[in-house]
């Protein structure tokens, strides 16, 4: 890997000091006489010396690298989180090893293991659900872990999220207040803690306080993509629903376009509220009303939390809930 052959030893020799001293100036240790420091820096510059981070990692047991497990970088939801993560990582001098898992349990395990083998100082994990096996790996590794935009059922590791239950409840209530009695709940797998537990609970809560009875027929599980939405549109109409809460923007736009193509007018005949307030909600016509999740911030805060954990600082609360808002646009009245 290394092509440069200039080591700390070369610098030491050229500067007539010991490698310890060179190491000190490289690491900003104050116990170095200014004159010596200057001399060393001059040699470092002249020789174009670049400390070998691998050797450093081996000796110090710190790699200043954190592993990021992500279902899919090309999904804007996750890449927004990733951007927040990388920005604060950079701020704290860490680098990111990014690994796609496809949300696949086995891959998650594999990836986690290679990350740990690479001695990352910490891990940020994104995924729709945390399997028992993954949780087991987390606990026996001692490497700090933070879940970003994912729920940890028993708060063993750090996590940063919004309050999905409340956000969903608020959204559904908004629909209920507009007079809808048949409100569809359209989401990913109900087996996921966020979709199945938090969101569905929020949905039910809103129905309850609006005095609407829950009906299985209005619950739709779908993949999170545009095509799935287009296809789903007619099924939703057939269910008799006149409004829908949707947990993914791409899916929501698919449904919106599917509905529109079927001659349904949104919001006059059907109201929609989606969940991520991504650019898609702005592009769609009508523009989609949506929960606004601070995705970038969730990523940024996750990384900040992780830096504290890696630094062994005391963290008062490692389950962080960030605020959300509801952005009313043109798909609701």
Q: Kindly state the number of chain residues that form the binding site for DNA, as judged by CB under 7 A.
A: 31
Residue 52 is a binding residue for DNA (CB under 7 A): yes
End-to-end CA distance of the chain: 61
User: In the complex with DNA, which residue's Cβ is closer, 14 or 248?
Assistant: 14
CA dist., res. 246 & res. 92, Å (int): 37
Interacting stretch for DNA, rule CB under 7 A, among 23-31, 71-79, 124-132, 321-329?
23-31
User: In the complex with DNA, which residue's Cβ is closer, 2 or 87?
Assistant: 2
CB of 38 to DNA, least distance (A): 10
Residue 24 is a binding residue for DNA (CB under 7 A): yes
Residue 309 is a binding residue for a copy of itself (CB under 8 A): no
Q: Kindly state the number of chain residues that form the binding site for a copy of itself, as judged by CB under 8 A.
A: 58
Give the number of other Cβ atoms within 10 Å of residue 3's Cβ: 4
User: In the complex with a copy of itself, which residue's Cβ is closer, 138 or 324?
Assistant: 138
Q: How far is CA 319 from CA 146, 197, 316, in A?
A: 9, 17, 9
- Of residues 102 through 161, those in contact with a copy of itself by CB under 8 A are 113-121, 141-143
Applying CB under 8 A, among 138, 185, 226, 270 the residue interacting with a copy of itself is 226
Residue 327 is a binding residue for a copy of itself (CB under 8 A): no
CB of 112 to DNA, least distance (A): 17
Interacting stretch for a copy of itself, rule CB under 8 A, among 28-36, 181-189, 215-223, 280-288?
280-288
Interacting stretch for DNA, rule CB under 7 A, among 1-9, 211-219, 229-237, 262-270?
1-9
Residue 58 is a binding residue for DNA (CB under 7 A): yes
Residue 35 is a binding residue for DNA (CB under 7 A): yes
Residue window 50-89: x/- pattern of binding to a copy of itself, with contact defined by CB under 8 A: xxxxxx-xx--xxx-x--x---xxx-x--xx-xx--xx--
Contacts of 27 (CB under 8 A, 6+ apart): none
- Of residues 229 through 288, those in contact with DNA by CB under 7 A are none
Residue 100 is a binding residue for DNA (CB under 7 A): no
Residue 262 near which of DNA, a copy of itself, none (CB within 5-8 Å, type-dependent): none
User: In the complex with a copy of itself, which residue's Cβ is closer, 203 or 226?
Assistant: 226
SS (H, E, C) the chain: CCCCCCCHHHHHHHHCCCHHHHHHHHCCCCCCCHHHHHHHHHHHHHHCCCCCHHHHHHHHCCCCEEEEEECCCCCHHHHHHHHHHHHHHHHCCCEEEEEECCCCHHHHHHHHHHHHHCCCCEEEECCCCCCHHHHHHHHHHCCCEEEECCCCCCCCCEEEEECHHHHHHHHHHHHHHCCCCCEEEEECCCCCHHHHHHHHHHHHHHHHHHCCCCCHHHEEECCCCHHHHHHHHHHHHHCCCCEEEECCHHHHHHHHHHHHHCCCCCCCCCEEEECCCCHHHHHCCCCCEEEECCHHHHHHHHHHHHHHHHCCCCCCCCEEEECCEEECCCCCC
- Please report, as ranges, the residues that interact with a copy of itself according to CB under 8 A: 1-4, 50-55, 57-58, 61-63, 65, 68, 72-74, 76, 79-80, 82-83, 86-87, 90, 95-100, 113-121, 141-143, 226, 250, 253, 257, 260, 279-280, 282-285, 296
């Amino acid at each position: 890997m290394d092509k440069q052959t200039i080591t700390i030893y070369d610098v030491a020799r050229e500067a007539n000091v010991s490698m310890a001293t060179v190491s000190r100036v490289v690491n900003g240790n104050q116990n170095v006489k200014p004159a010596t420091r200057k001399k060393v820096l001059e040699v470092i510059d002249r020789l174009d010396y670049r400390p070998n981070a691998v050797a450093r990692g081996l000796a110090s047991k710190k790699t200043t690298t954190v592993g990021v497990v992500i279902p899919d970088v090309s999904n804007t939801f996750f890449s927004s989180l990733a951007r927040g993560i990388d920005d604060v990582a950079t701020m704290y001098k860490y680098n990111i090893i990014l690994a796609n898992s496809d949300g696949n349990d086995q891959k998650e395990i594999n990836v986690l293991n290679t990350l740990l083998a690479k001695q990352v100082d910490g891990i940020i994990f994104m995924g729709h659900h945390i399997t028992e096996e993954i949780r087991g790996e987390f606990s026996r590794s001692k490497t700090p872990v933070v879940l970003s935009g994912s729920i940890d059922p028993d708060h063993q590791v750090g996590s940063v999220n919004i309050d999905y239950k409340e956000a969903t409840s608020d959204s559904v209530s908004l629909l209920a207040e507009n007079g809808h009695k048949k409100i569809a709940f359209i989401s990913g797998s109900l087996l996921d803690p966020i979709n199945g537990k938090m969101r569905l609970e929020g949905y039910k809560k809103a129905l309850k306080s609006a005095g609407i009875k829950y009906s299985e027929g209005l619950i739709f599980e779908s993949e999170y993509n545009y095509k799935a939405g287009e296809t789903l549109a007619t099924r939703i109409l057939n269910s008799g629903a006149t409004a829908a809460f949707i947990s993914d923007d791409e899916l929501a736009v698919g449904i919106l376009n599917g509905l529109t193509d079927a001659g349904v007018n949104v919001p006059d005949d059907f109201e929609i509220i989606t969940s991520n307030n991504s650019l898609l909600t702005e592009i769609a016509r009508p523009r989609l009303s949506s929960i606004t999740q601070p995705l970038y911030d969730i990523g940024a805060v996750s990384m900040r939390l992780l830096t504290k954990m890696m630094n062994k600082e005391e963290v008062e609360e490692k389950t962080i809930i960030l605020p959300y808002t509801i952005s009313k646009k043109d798909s609701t009245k």
